Structure 1
Amino acid sequence: MTSTTHTHEHGAGHGHGHSDAPVSGRTLATRLRSLMPLLGEHRRLIGVAYLAGVLHQLLLLASSGTGAHVVARAAEGASADQLTCWLIVLGCLILPLVVLSIADSTYAHVAAFRALADTRARVFAAFERLSPGYMLERRSGDLGSAAVADVEQIELFFAHTLSPLAVALTVPVATTVALGWFHWSLACVLVPVLLLLASVPAWLRRQAELHGHELRDSLGQMSADSTDTFQGLRELVNFGAHSQRLGLLRKQGARLATAKSAHGRRSGIEYAATDTIALLGILAVLVLGAQLVVAGDLDRSLFPVAVVLAAMAMLPVLKVTEVARELSTVASSADRINTLLDAPAPVSDLVSRAPAGQVVPHVRFDTVTFTYRSDLRPAVRDVSFDIRPGETVALVGHSGAGKSTCANLLLRFWDVTAGSVSVGGHDVRDFPQEDLRRLMTLVPQDTFLFNTSLRDNIRLGRADASDDEVEAAARAAQAHEFITTLPHGYDTVAGELGALMSGGQRQRIAIARALLKDAPILVMDEAVSNLDAASEQAVTRAMDEARHGRTTLVIAHRLSTIRTADRVVVLSDGRVAETGTHEELLAAGGAYVALLASQLDGFTEQDS
């Protein structure tokens, strides 16, 4: 089967900034509504919480009104027999009030926490989908903030906003109807107060949105800078730059403090406004009710009931306005999460299944051109070369020549802008990404080790590998000897970022992973660069055996690595300058010789 021609618009997944600006033209309600799909299958739980919350508040309204009526009748001298019926009603309301209160809080929080767990899973799935293009343009601390802090922030919306909002829309209506039944003028006084109270968050909406965005952005930047500082402590100490870094953290801390202060001042103004309006509303009902009692238009026993009902009508509205002070921050978190979830992937599956039959590990680059962004010059241009099954090709060139780009295009971290990359005659876009990656193994120059045992780090190459298979891979990678000298052997924890391992040890663990995966195509980004001479020779022998029968692409800098390759492809300014064996290129005296001469310090006799 020949490779298929694909049309691909490149660059859709690039050009993201480090923070997401507020979305102009979108109201706060619209931005918050974007969170509703995240509830998914948990909407029913939220619905139960709504119902429980509304019923709880209506019963609370009824019990408060009944209690006020009992007090008023007692003050008028009513007998115990006359009050017994009302007291029995109050007693019967206690159990439903407790049950509904528990149900409201429990179901709302269970739904919220389940939705948060699902959202976290979607965020991490987005990280995987967008890697590595989107990830390279975002700081790890900022992404960590999106995965943790922003997701936690939306709990306020799910657990403390939706149900209270339903209550705030129901209880004031019921209260207004009850006061109108007492006397129409009481309802007329209460309605404008409630509307005015509910409008307070809108007064400072613009400032709230700006403060919310600045607060979330400041937290993200602070998290990113803190992560950089923790990971770079060795370099800071080594170069005596800790005071300089501390100055940056202080600057970010000051920015965060300023954002919090602005947020706090605005919240204080809203608190003062809502409390004042609520008190004035209760006072208005109190004064009007007293006048109605004096005029004989309102029964004395209903007067305290009216005042209590007016106060109860304010409470759910006050609760919502209190939560609303934080909703601008929630909306900013929602924007960041949705930006991540909606970001177009650098590549996406174009087919649902891999080509039928056995795929021959024959790699071919056919006039490949690739540009990372439309405003940048091509990273590679019209690059053509192939790697036959079982052959090792060394890709060499100056920094920025396009070596890593070629490896990334083969692994389909990005798609070509023009031309094609094929495996076994099939364009790499004719494979689902999972199937394509199953054919390949990457041994990077900078190895990442997880903070778990060395056994589990090696087993990353194949999760179902037995301990014996892990050990065999480690032996082949010349890692078994140093692992067995460690206090806990294969159960030794590598430390965060592999900090407890030397560079050479980390590299051998990476090679062991690759050997354990046993893929037919091997991509090595100068995999022996961190090894000493003795270890390099041993690992080179192991890799010679491992790459037998495999198609191997080596991004090489060391002469010792280049000389063992079957062929060498020299890249210069994104183009193929020369192709041939090490001896042929030396004899030609062209770009390859010039490259070796310019890097003479790196290609010493020790390397050879």
Structure 2
Amino acid sequence: MRGFRKVMSLASGVAGYVATASAIRLAVVATAIAQGFLLAAVLEHVLAGEGIGAQRDRVVAIGALIVARFALTWAGEPVTEATGAATKELLRGRAFAKVAALGPGHVAGARTGELRATLVEGIESLENYYGRFLPSLVAAVAAPLAVVAVLAPRDAWLALLIAGFAVAAVVLPPLWAGPLEERSEQRMSAYIGLGAQFLDTLQGLVTLKAFGAADRRRDDLRRGSDQLITRWIREMAAALVPLAIYHLAIVGGVATVAAVAAARAANGGLAAGPMFLALFLSVQALRPINVLAAAYHTTYEAGTAADRLHALFATVSPAPVRSTATPAAGLAPSITFDRVTFAYDTRERPVLSDFSLQVDPGRTVAVVGPSGAGKTSVVSLLLRFFDPRQGVVRIGGRDVRDLPSDQLRSMIALVAQDTYLFGGTVAENVAMARPGASRADVETAARVAGAHEFIAALPDGYDSPVGERGLRLSGGQRQRLAIARAVLADAPILVLDEATASVDAAAEASIQSALDQLTAQRTTLIIAHRLSTVRNADQIVVLDDGRVVETGRHDELVTHAGAYARLISAQEVH
């Protein structure tokens, strides 16, 4: 199988489960071979004139083996399920940790639907591979070897015949793996693409309806669905070839062994005992291969999934953790950007060029500028979603790259333009800022944010569900919850990234009042496009095309009649 080593390299955490499942399958094979051996002996003695009663011990042993095989088969299923559960826990935990380490910088460049398919369907295919295919493969190899070893001393030709069909059943199907895996990759790409497109459609349904694009989108989904069906049919057509090889080898093997054994016995060239033994053991030799055939499809799905997971794990973080990062005690809540140059892609021109900024403890500094000036990049660098190409970002005089991520996050509270609320209650969303916070602390934070009144008016108050992405709340209500989070976090540095840009003027005035309480006695960095929110800042930094073009207070910059004044004028005109 293509990528076998890649698939197996992901199995280190579930090797014990796989070994246990394989051992159970081997025990099942052993009971089946022993049963065949005893059945052949019973029939041989019956033909010799010995009654069943005289073979009581063999009959009892056969019954015991049947019970044992049933018990082993029953025990094997929980082990298989446990293998799958361990696979999902291990790989999804590892994948989520990787995505979390990569941060928004990586997720913003990947379609959510594609990432979800890799972490869900992809890992499920590996679950089946480890839990079902590998133990089946072990049994499919061990059973013929054991049968040949038992039968060869009694009749080498029949043992060789069984070995030939077993080798054909195990070796020939993988020769078809190339085209099958290629078609599987094409089908998986179509599946992931359609899933991502469908998720985009659900999330953007309002926009599609507003612009009359719902019918066009439906046609796009139909074409994507048709392509997926076509590729799935092509994959299934290719999959029939190895399945046909499996079944021809299994059925043909048993039939051929039976015909050859019967013919030789009829001609006196084979005794009854070896004949019966060959008949029973040929079935037991090839039966595990039939089980393997049922699980074979997981091999090409697993190969595709392993490729995608390895690609994810190999992705280099835009802000890698330094091994030398150590906690720093007594950090002052100051922010410094020292001649920072940054680009999201090294092949693109910088979005920040030789950018410097100083925010002293307890001061409020606003960064403003036209769209695309690089304002949001300032926040991304401060939160260390990315690292600068040149220059240094510091907190309390310490390079943020030398601070553990936990300490960095504890120093900063963020209120962003696009407030994300998770599917849960109001209280759970606010308490995300400080796990374990009491209900009294949550309510106090909500009161400071001016959110308590609307929360209390909800059907279940703080226990009211907010809906997916907080859609049961208005934009202003979601923003107040974001402010409550920041209050509860009680971080010494506050970052307001377009915190009122998505609300109307009436809501802005109310929210601004809550923000004024929040910024008191805190170091505050404001990123703003709506300039009415920065008039009282201690300093305003004007960005244009990634460079600082002006600095000063509001009154000074208006009087100067430069870039800031032009921004003010443009907003007043509009």
- Per-residue CA deviation, residues 64-104 of structure 1 (Å, 9 max, x unaligned), is 34224434544565323443332122123233222322333
Aligned-pair CA distance for 1:441: 1.0
CA distance in 1, matches of 2:46, 2:222: 64
* 1:228-243 correspondence runs (5 A): 228-243=200-215
Aligned-pair CA distance for 1:418: 0.4
User: CA distance change for structure 1 residues 125 and 92 in 2, over 3 Å: closer, same or farther?
Assistant: same
1:462 corresponds to 2:434: yes
Of 86-95 and 154-163, more deviation after overlay is shown by: 86-95
1:558 corresponds to 2:530: yes
Contact 1:351 1:432 in 2 (8 A): no
Instruction: Name 1:33's counterpart in structure 2.
Output: 8
Contact 1:108 1:163 in 2 (8 A): no
Equivalent position to 2:334, from 362, 367, 381: 362
Contact 2:370 2:544 in 1 (8 A): yes
Equivalent position to 2:39, from 31, 56, 67: 67
* 1:291-310 correspondence runs (5 A): 291-310=263-282
The amino acid across from 1:219 in the alignment is Y
Instruction: Name 1:149's counterpart in structure 2.
Output: 121
The amino acid across from 1:130 in the alignment is L
The amino acid across from 1:510 in the alignment is A
Contact 1:50 1:162 in 2 (8 A): yes
TM-score by length of 1: 0.90
SS of corresponding position for 1:350: coil
Contact 2:174 2:242 in 1 (8 A): no
Contact 1:56 1:100 in 2 (8 A): yes
Equivalent position to 2:258, from 277, 286, 294: 286
User: CA distance change for structure 1 residues 98 and 322 in 2, over 3 Å: closer, same or farther?
Assistant: closer
Aligned-pair CA distance for 1:443: 0.7
Contact 1:352 1:432 in 2 (8 A): no
The amino acid across from 1:87 in the alignment is V
Contact 1:28 1:328 in 2 (8 A): no
CA distance in 1, matches of 2:150, 2:267: 20
SS of corresponding position for 1:563: coil
1:120 corresponds to 2:95: no
TM-score by length of 2: 0.95
Aligned-pair CA distance for 1:592: 1.6
Equivalent position to 1:481, from 453, 460, 463: 453
Aligned-pair CA distance for 1:160: 0.3
Contact 1:365 1:384 in 2 (8 A): yes
Of 214-223 and 53-62, more deviation after overlay is shown by: 214-223
The amino acid across from 1:182 in the alignment is R
Equivalent position to 2:228, from 220, 231, 256: 256
Instruction: Name 2:505's counterpart in structure 1.
Output: 533
Contact 1:292 1:298 in 2 (8 A): yes
Equivalent position to 1:86, from 31, 49, 58: 58
CA distance in 1, matches of 2:571, 2:42: 95
Number of residue equivalences: 574
Unaligned 5+ residue runs, structure 2? none
Instruction: Name 1:504's counterpart in structure 2.
Output: 476
* 1:110-189 correspondence runs (5 A): 110-189=82-161
User: CA distance change for structure 1 residues 108 and 206 in 2, over 3 Å: closer, same or farther?
Assistant: same
CA distance in 1, matches of 2:556, 2:538: 11
CA distance in 1, matches of 2:335, 2:3: 52
CA distance in 2, matches of 1:37, 1:203: 27
The amino acid across from 2:305 in the alignment is S
Aligned-pair CA distance for 1:535: 3.0
CA distance in 2, matches of 1:486, 1:280: 71
* 1:291-370 correspondence runs (5 A): 291-351=263-323, 354-370=326-342
Aligned-pair CA distance for 1:497: 0.8
The amino acid across from 2:85 in the alignment is F
* 1:358-397 correspondence runs (5 A): 358-397=330-369
User: CA distance change for structure 1 residues 76 and 28 in 2, over 3 Å: closer, same or farther?
Assistant: farther
Instruction: Name 2:394's counterpart in structure 1.
Output: 422
User: CA distance change for structure 1 residues 439 and 600 in 2, over 3 Å: closer, same or farther?
Assistant: same
SS of corresponding position for 1:478: coil
Aligned-pair CA distance for 1:328: 0.5
Of 374-383 and 459-468, more deviation after overlay is shown by: 459-468
Aligned-pair CA distance for 1:417: 0.6
CA distance in 1, matches of 2:248, 2:141: 21
CA distance in 2, matches of 1:230, 1:567: 42
- Per-residue CA deviation, residues 321-347 of structure 1 (Å, 9 max, x unaligned), is 432233111111122223223322221
The amino acid across from 1:162 in the alignment is L
CA distance in 2, matches of 1:371, 1:538: 36
CA distance in 1, matches of 2:48, 2:205: 76
| Percent identical | 34
Unaligned 5+ residue runs, structure 1? 1-25, 603-608
- Per-residue CA deviation, residues 447-473 of structure 1 (Å, 9 max, x unaligned), is 111111111111112122222221121
Aligned-pair CA distance for 1:28: 3.4
CA distance in 1, matches of 2:412, 2:76: 52
Contact 1:212 1:330 in 2 (8 A): no
